[in-house]
Structure 1
Amino acid sequence: MPYEIPFSQLPGLGEEDYPGFPAQLCPNELPDLSKHCSLCADVLKDNPEMYQELKDRQTSTGVSLARCIKTGIDNRGHPCLKSIGAVAGDAECYQVFAPLFEKLIQGRHGKVPEAHMKCHGRRTLTAESAEPLEGYVISCKVAASRNLDGTPFPPAASRDQRQEVEHMISGAALQMEGALKGTYFPLVGSSSYPSKPDGMTLEEEKMLTDDHLLFQHPDAPAVLSTGSGRHWPHGRGVFVNERKTLTLWINEEEHLKATSQRQGGDVQAAFRELSAVLAHISGSLADRAGFAKSDRLGYLTSNPANIGTALRAESSAYSLYHLAFSCPGSVGGLGVGREFRES
């Protein structure tokens, strides 16, 4: 089926990596980073010996230092909005390139203890309402990112590896029953899903877009240069349950981004649904691959900023004007689109 956007011809979305710093092998000398503003650039400038120490290392899946730091070399960044400037190409990167990633993690999260604190889990989930003023929260959602252990993360994955991840996660999702039962929609133009060789229909794409359930191709150079957009839209899609409270994004910037959302402020219900989904997928894949996880760092993601619980919770409330009008003097801690993140 023809598609308007020729992804294979766009830099960073076809077979080749985004132009710039090489992604496979590091050059002998580190480029000039004097005008770069990112955590990665700062670490490499402050520790000039680190590049020579790490530049020839590779993980068992073939991920090099070049792949990890390419986005930070290609993009200067901005001093007022300092990004990390590096990605992990697989779970091993956090060990093989530990001198770099430990400093990046400390720069973003602070010092990480030797033993990672145990997550509370849903059995000790608080019963306290996330809606201090009942009736004012429009919606809430909880999302978690996960990657499969032993497989390169999206920045470093090959075309075949993306397809294998898609088949594993979508296959596990399609086994869910009851309120979680749903449909898998491969992206328009994708040929990786046998039962839908052209991907979802344009009508299905419009429906998911209108419902804000679909992700789009990356267009920011900082994302394109990570490698996560290569082979677009191959091996990518979204699973949606029948009630449209659950979405699973496959092979966007992580192998899996699972989101549970609902109207109102019952964030506990969203968390319970999300936990059930992650437990099901983890159990279904147990004989082939588990989620990439470190005892000390928690769940591992391509973006070091998201490691740990790799969990994000958001709520949207009515405007402060309406809250203040209804309850003057009692809205000091509330905001529109209030967002909470735990990592």
Structure 2
Amino acid sequence: MTKLKLKRGSPREEFPSLDGNYTYMAQVLDLHMYTRQFNRATDSGVIFDDIIRPGLEDPGTRTGPKTVGCLAGDAQSYILFCDFFDRIIEAYHSYKVVSDITQVSDFNYDNLKGGDDFDRAYAVSCEVSVTRCVEDYCFPTHCSRGERRQLLMLAKKVLDQLGEEFPGRFYSIDDLNQEMKDQEIIMDAPPASLIKIGVGRDWPDARALWVSEDGTLAVWVNMEDHLRLVSSRNDGNIQEAFAIICNGLLKIEALYKKLRHPFIWKPHLGWVVSSPAEVGTGLKASVTVKLVHLVTHKRLDDILDRLRLRMEINHLSGMHKISNQQTIGLTEVELTQLVVDGVKLLIRIEKRLENNGGIDDLVPAQK
């Protein structure tokens, strides 16, 4: 463990004000924990104040979705500051981190049941994404310009080698803006909150997007994490989107390993990325569903909690995104299955409400 001697006061003098802070960081952090972490630093120089800065810059609101309010600066952060991160993971995912329980992955998309048969009058689009970080490099909040540029060159080398199954094109952000200029679509600089915490530094230097020729797979490089793979569709066929992610990810992972730059994996945490909200699998599966009656029902929050899902409500459009909250403790297939089964049930409930029927018999048991 490395110790830094910065010109700071005592932990009590430096303890941040958490009044009006609605993040999980503020829920977990107290002076005792802050004091224990205060003089610690990872080998690359990440200190605890770096970890909690996202939640101080963006404290959230009482009624808004509750965020974790923290980001790791490197993989060692999860080990050195494990007292803090383990509690964050437990609070956010309702999953207790235990050193002798290993996170298991399952990329066999044939194990997913359903997801290609949603009622199209309700399920209008879907997306599956997965994040990964590369061994021996700091995460975006803390990496140097040189590291970011090395990660870009590595990603370009890998994505150029994807082969016949996934031919595609690699764009820098400047290239992308130039190409889409005629369509009056420009990628804006990241919000001030990401610049303040370091994720958006030097924008758009060494940021890029790779897109497959058929448009079914996109890979973002050096955004909130080293890599984010995304497969999105203008229908609800999440089974197909999941299959594309699994195929693409396994091929990309093999190429990174071949270049001796594997993705970061810890047995008790699974795939390690910058946000504790995405450790384990790094997977987010979502279906956008047209719901009118259910979103105003008094039991909505209870139903979502029982299904272990979250919903981003858009009253203006009537289209609401349903996704998994948890990313650890279950496999990729199991997490996607939660979304598939949950969306099917929510559509059934919506149909019942349309006919002024009761829904008590459809409310699920806690998963």
TM-score interval, normalised by the smaller of the two chains = 0.7 to 0.9
What is the aligned residue count?
292
**Unaligned residue ranges in structure 1 (runs of 5+):** 1-23, 189-199, 322-332
List aligned pairs for 1:86-165, cutoff 5 A: 86-114=70-98, 115-122=101-108, 124-134=110-120, 137-165=123-151
Alpha-carbon distance, 1:136 to partner: 5.1
SS at match of 2:41: coil
For the aligned residue pairs, the C-alpha RMSD in angstroms reads 2.8
Structure 1 CA distance for aligned equivalents of residues 29 and 97 of structure 2: 23
Deviation, 1:118, is 1.9
1:202/1:252 CA distance change after superposition, 3 Å: closer
1:309 to 274, 281, 289: 281
CA distance in 2, matches of 1:293, 1:152: 14
Further displaced range: 175-184 or 134-143: 134-143
The residue type paired with residue 254 of structure 2 is G
Gaps of 5+ in 2: 294-306, 312-317, 328-367
SS of the equivalent of 1:105 reads: helix
3-state secondary structure, aligned to 1:107: helix
Structure-1 separation of matches of 2:88 and 2:105 = 23
Higher share of residues assigned helix = 2
Q: TM-score, normalised by structure 1?
A: 0.76
Matches within 5 A, 1:251-270: 251-270=222-241
Q: Distance in 1 between matches of 2:218 and 2:27?
A: 37
Q: How many Å apart are 1:43 and its aligned residue?
A: 2.5
Q: Secondary structure of 1:139's partner?
A: strand
Task: Pick closer, same or farther for the CA change 1:136–1:74 going to 2, 3 Å.
Answer: closer
Shift of 1:77: 3.5
Identical pairs, percent:
26
Q: 1:105 to 1:133 in 2, by over 3 A?
A: same
Map 1:314-325 → 2, pairs under 5 A: 314-317=286-289
C-alpha distance in structure 2 between counterparts of 1:205 and 1:26, whole Å:
48
Q: Is this contact kept in 2: 1:145–1:257, CA < 8 A?
A: yes
Contact map agreement 1:236 1:251 (CA 8 A) in 2? yes
Partner residue, 1:284: 255
Match for residue 204 of structure 1 among 171, 174, 179: 179
**Is contact 1:141-1:314 (8 Å) kept?**
yes
C-alpha deviation, 1:336, in angstroms = 3.0
- Say which of 1, 8, 21 aligns to 1:27: 8
TM-aligned CA distance change 1:240 to 1:207, over 3 Å:
farther
| Residue identity opposite 1:250 in structure 2 | V
Displacement after TM superposition at 1:280 (Å): 1.6
Aligned to 2:153: 167
